[in-house]
Amino acid sequence: MADSVEGPSSRIDDKNDLGFGSVVSNDSSQRLLNKDGTFNVRRAGLGWLESQSLYHDALNLTWPKFLGWVTLLYVVLNIVFAALFWLCGPEALMGAAPRGMGGSLWRAFFFSVETFATIGYGEISPVGFPAHMVMVVESLFALMSQALITGLLFARFSRPRAAIRFSSHMVVAPFAGGRGLMFRITNIRSNQIIDLQARVTCSWKEPGSKGVGGRRFQLLTLERSQVIFFPLAWTLVHPITEDSPIFGRSDEQLRDCEYEFLVIISGTDETFSQQVNTRTSYRADEIVWGAKFRNIFNPPDAQGLLSVDVHRLDEYDRVPLPAA
């Protein structure tokens, strides 16, 4: 077990502080790590272009947002080029009559879509140098846009990501004649994650401490920190012994000292043979004292196969706690 660190300067450089440092640790009024694994730290003093990474943003967007942005980009580009065709004049496009297509602007929009998607029905065609130049520029934009979107789609589909669900609460339950701090996880996808490792770091503020070095970190000892296979669910247990930073502490004391438990799970996705990671945190107000997780394993089916009911991941029963 990593010992809690003494002294202001050593607390800043403690290898267990996960890189937050003293400023974030002491000055932040929010949790260090959000439930979804994001950090409550923002960067300022940079220009918009310096701070943006459109490629990484596109990879990290949710699927509805990503598809929404792609659709919006597609519509906006076609509207822009439709306006350019329309500005070239009423004689810039020949073929189908504007009246049958909702007007000249709509005809320009439909022609832009055909050009952008390289459909080429042949009903409409450009006439004159300006219209042909707009068509050339749009073809170039279409080529680059389609290549970019195709690459992003492939990267999003091919990148392995851990879909591990954490229980919404930790519990303090009887364990090995004493007490244990527990939470559990399960893989919500059908892929297999092997060689799964867990690290839990406890962070808290000393009572009445302010300024540099007020927050301390300690890596928790787990009853089991690694499993080779992770087919169903895993309950992680921290035995609350005399070496534990929460030994002898009550629920009120944990809340007063702003305890937070930072969880990092890493493993190897067997399908891609690549390492995947996920993280979350629990605050003191997300700990249920005197509770024990319910069994989420279903009875074996007719073929003898086991299964877990993921919907019961957060369920627990109240139980008496042994004396601290």
| Cα gap 84→79, rounded to integer Å | 9
In the chain, what percentage of residues exceed pLDDT 70? Answer: 85
The answer for residues whose C-beta is within 8 angstroms of residue 120's C-beta and 6 or more apart is 114
The predicted-structure confidence for 206-256, as pLDDT tens digits, reads as follows: 865 454 447 889 999 999 999 999 888 999 999 999 999 999 999 999 999
How high is the pLDDT of residue 323?
85
Mean per-residue pLDDT over the chain, rounded: 86
Q: What is the reported pTM?
A: 0.74
| Cα gap 120→142, rounded to integer Å | 14
CB 233 within 8 A of CB 186: yes
Secondary structure letter of residue 39 according to DSSP: B
Rounded (10°) CA dihedral 60, 64, 65, 66: 60
| Cα gap 246→1, rounded to integer Å | 14
Q: Which amino acid belongs to residue 215?
A: R
The predicted-structure confidence for 80-91, as pLDDT tens digits, reads as follows: 999 999 999 989
The predicted-structure confidence for 50-107, as pLDDT tens digits, reads as follows: 666 788 888 888 999 999 999 999 999 999 999 999 999 989 999 888 888 889 999 9
Q: Which amino acid belongs to residue 317?
A: D
Q: Three-state DSSP class for 300?
A: coil
19 pLDDT higher than 90: no
The predicted-structure confidence for 115-154, as pLDDT tens digits, reads as follows: 999 898 888 999 999 999 999 999 999 999 999 999 999 9
How high is the pLDDT of residue 92?
93
DSSP string, 286-298: GEEESEEEPP-EE
* CB burial of residue 290 (10 Å; 0-12, 13-18, 19+): middle
How high is the pLDDT of residue 273?
86
Domains of the chain plus CATH, in order, are: 8-41+162-318 (2.60.40.1400), 54-158 (1.10.287.70)
The predicted-structure confidence for 265-309, as pLDDT tens digits, reads as follows: 999 998 888 899 999 999 999 999 999 999 998 888 888 888 889
CB 12 within 8 A of CB 218: no
How high is the pLDDT of residue 3?
41
Q: Which amino acid belongs to residue 236?
A: L
| Cα gap 59→305, rounded to integer Å | 36
Q: Dig out the tokens for 89 from the structure.
A: 């004049």
Q: Dig out the tokens for 65 from the structure.
A: 């947002």
| Cα gap 97→104, rounded to integer Å | 8
| Cα gap 290→181, rounded to integer Å | 10
Which residues are paired to 265 by β-bridges?
A: 198, 278
How high is the pLDDT of residue 47?
65
How high is the pLDDT of residue 208?
58
